[in-house]
Structure 1
């Protein structure tokens, strides 16, 4: 494209996509620093293009800035990331005024509008201090739905990207994972030719209890010299196999660790290797991997923080609870239930084990449709664990809120979402509070 159409500004966006995914997938700081210089060059070329009257003039500048803002968050450059987001937002708003029917603009604005109402507390300072962002989940969702509807009858270059963004919005902000899955499956994502399609479909499959399908997608992914190295897919495959209690899950975590030179998910990979060793009865290897959790990786993402806290506490998981947890996470609810059916909380050692039992029973019964029993276990977990450092009570409150929201008992749902935001565990707090706030936002919007 560069040789044939040097003046086609879209090539700058495509090159920026390549840089962004390279940085985001490798998490290599040297690569980030080398490629980051391209951002200003691309924006300068667009500004000097003389195409001020094109709807792409401001849109491409904003889109390039948004990608680099996401990349900066990966490397903890929060201040600069928020400044980039604000510049992008202002460019998109200005473009919306000039070209109100320009669909690519609505795609990016829709995501920003939807996300702003659920910004985690630890990022709010940046949004309030450094940006002029505004919007609601409903507003953003409506904008993206309008784009998708138009794309069904008209050719739209960003159709697949919009569908993926919409699916993640449904899953994370609307708590509608089933619709997210059906949207993706009915779309144009082809996991046989695209590693990003593999990642997206497998990720949503794993979040919707379709673990076997995720394994199939990941095992049959394309490879070879024509494809970019994507080690995180091995981490995902190892995780999916561990959830099925497969004996060979550890080989995929080793492949991930051997090939990945980034900063995230390393502690979590060693934690999962430790679990695999424990389930095979190898306590010595469990201890070896526990020490690796403490000596390797970084403490940025929730999974790594959780792995570090577990390792520091010298906590050895109860095998029954561990298997129930993994089976539950894989969507094998009946098998998870069978692990715990004959147990009572008093049979488990210490507060953590007892809380995990009541919490896990609540989650399993919830998924099995036994809602009254689920609420009883959620309430017990909240009552006994709200001041404990573990995430069980906080997530029990969130799940109870989601349960009541699903049966349109908005008063009870709001009460439980509020309880969730007022419990402050040492693990997963940011993600849990964000989901509770998204729930409050949904109820507030539908009640108007």
Structure 2
């Protein structure tokens, strides 16, 4: 025992020195990483500049900063510059110490960052290949270093995404050669969340995926606000919190955060926050204030994403305040601005295309019900719905939407049977059309039956939601339905 003890110390020292060789995550670079994650980009850049050019963590953090700046600016030129750096950065890291768990991990991180940016700019095939490469690196790393916790952050994300991937992306699964397991992914992110360095980023990824693919309930909401309270200078968590609260019908909570937190010169300006402020006003029914915020965003944003969506929402502001001429003038901007990559931009484009065919504008009462429901103002939505009936509506689409919106109101007010009745009515009326209301209604019925513990019925309606083709929210709805089926054990 006396002989073994100093021998073990020597092994530990040797082990640490080997891993420290090349991959030296210095205290200064660790601080820089936290500053990047907080979106304090100028501060992090100063810290990174003080490090040796040969340090791979410097390469990784520079790539991280570039990713954030490209996503925020939405600039094609910045995107091209970012992608052109890919080869040299990856090659530099790869040639370093292969015996370090950080070699494959950092390369996988860079590839996943590249994938995120490529998806944003519509290059989904190239992004898929980066994800394939990242997955292979992470799997190899896990075999070589099974106790290396940081890789669980990325593996957990991949397992959840693959487990809920829409039908039209099944070819990606075949390329990856790995099976997605949502339960496994959730557990991996939970373990990664305990890591002193990478844990905060793992938590943010977990919250995002919980809202985007799984179910974001009261427990998740409380945990999110608790993390934000503990990290008030973390702008990335602030942005994701406001976004999630808006998407989960909590406009008042979003408004509270938007007023509570202010960020100084150490942070870049993020135009997306102007959109969030406008959305809060829109959901509240303050269309004049919303219109001013949307116009402010359009004046200052230089990118091409969100433009169609923003013009559509600006159209709603004018339409709902009775300025019909101005509303149709704004509507005509939709086909000539921006790109149709995001689902919201696609929905705006599809709305305009339907308008050019029918020359019919939406029912104002239905619009107000929709916006109140989206903002979480369910009592207001219910009052508005009592003044409307299916018989009073003219077009089939209006009748379908009416039943879907009323179904959502009953669902949110804990009246599941009445909700199911209206959702099923929407499905029947939508039978021969490509509107999203049939798929959306099927998804919500699936959730209701899942909550009731009626698994076979839930399964049938989740599969029905996936069966709808060519609607504007297919990727999102398919992803959520597949995630629910996986959670229940119907998909491996």
Q: TM-score band (shorter)? A: over 0.9
Give the alignment partner of residue 395 of structure 1, picking from 432, 437, 440.
Answer: 440
Q: List aligned pairs for 1:105-116, cutoff 5 A.
A: 105-116=151-162
Which residue pairs with 1:62 in the alignment? Answer: 108
Give the alignment partner of residue 257 of structure 1, picking from 298, 303, 308.
Answer: 298
Structure 1 CA distance, aligned partners of 2:49 and 2:328? 56
2:334 matched to 1:288? no
The 10-residue stretch of structure 1 (284-293 or 210-219) with the greater mean CA deviation from structure 2: 210-219
Give the alignment partner of residue 146 of structure 1, picking from 183, 186, 191.
Answer: 191
Cα gap change, 1:335 to 1:2, in 2 (>3 Å): closer
Three-state SS of the structure 2 residue aligned to 1:269 is helix
Deviations 1:308-349 (A, max 9, x none): 121222231111111110000000001001001132201011
Three-state SS of the structure 1 residue aligned to 2:180 is coil
Shift, 1:223, TM fit: 4.6
Shift, 1:185, TM fit: 1.6
Shift, 1:198, TM fit: 2.3
Shift, 1:177, TM fit: 3.5
Cα gap change, 1:231 to 1:399, in 2 (>3 Å): same
**TM norm structure 2:** 0.85
Give the alignment partner of residue 94 of structure 2, picking from 6, 27, 47.
Answer: 47
2:75 matched to 1:28? yes
Q: List aligned pairs for 1:415-430, cutoff 5 A.
A: 415-430=460-475
Structure 2 CA distance, aligned partners of 1:264 and 1:390? 23
Structure 2 CA distance, aligned partners of 1:433 and 1:386? 18
Check whether the contact 1:404–1:412 (CA below 8 A) recurs between aligned residues. Answer: yes
Deviations 1:97-153 (A, max 9, x none): 11111111011011101111211233223442x4323221111112112223x44xx
Deviations 1:147-185 (A, max 9, x none): 23x44xxxx111211111111222233313333322222
Three-state SS of the structure 1 residue aligned to 2:82 is helix
Check whether the contact 1:167–1:183 (CA below 8 A) recurs between aligned residues. Answer: no
Shift, 1:363, TM fit: 0.5
Q: List aligned pairs for 1:373-388, cutoff 5 A.
A: 373-388=418-433
Q: List aligned pairs for 1:30-179, cutoff 5 A.
A: 30-49=77-96, 51-128=97-174, 130-148=175-193, 150-151=194-195, 156-179=196-219
Structure 1 CA distance, aligned partners of 2:155 and 2:50? 31
Instruction: Kindly indicate whether structure 1 or structure 2 has the higher relative contact order, using CA contacts under 8 Å at least 6 residues apart.
Output: 2
Check whether the contact 1:420–1:432 (CA below 8 A) recurs between aligned residues. Answer: yes
Cα gap change, 1:122 to 1:367, in 2 (>3 Å): same
Structure 1 CA distance, aligned partners of 2:383 and 2:346? 30
Deviations 1:381-428 (A, max 9, x none): 111112222111110010000111111110110111121112225321
Check whether the contact 2:304–2:337 (CA below 8 A) recurs between aligned residues. Answer: no
Which residue pairs with 1:304 in the alignment? Answer: 345
2:254 matched to 1:209? no
Three-state SS of the structure 1 residue aligned to 2:488 is helix
Shift, 1:277, TM fit: 0.4
Structure 2 CA distance, aligned partners of 1:256 and 1:127? 38
Q: How many residues are matched?
A: 440
Shift, 1:8, TM fit: 3.7
2:410 matched to 1:365? yes
In structure 1, runs of 5+ residues without a counterpart are: none
Which residue pairs with 2:274 in the alignment? Answer: 234
Structure 1 CA distance, aligned partners of 2:276 and 2:422? 30
Give the alignment partner of residue 233 of structure 2, picking from 193, 196, 201.
Answer: 193
Three-state SS of the structure 2 residue aligned to 1:187 is helix
Shift, 1:40, TM fit: 2.3
Check whether the contact 1:231–1:255 (CA below 8 A) recurs between aligned residues. Answer: no
Shift, 1:192, TM fit: 5.1
Check whether the contact 1:388–1:425 (CA below 8 A) recurs between aligned residues. Answer: no
Structure 2 CA distance, aligned partners of 1:207 and 1:302? 14
In structure 2, runs of 5+ residues without a counterpart are: 1-46
Check whether the contact 1:170–1:179 (CA below 8 A) recurs between aligned residues. Answer: no
Structure 1 CA distance, aligned partners of 2:348 and 2:133? 36
Three-state SS of the structure 2 residue aligned to 1:345 is coil
Which residue pairs with 2:397 in the alignment? Answer: 352
Structure 1 CA distance, aligned partners of 2:172 and 2:304? 23
Deviations 1:184-210 (A, max 9, x none): 222256785343222111011112322
Structure 1 CA distance, aligned partners of 2:448 and 2:267? 42
**TM norm structure 1:** 0.93
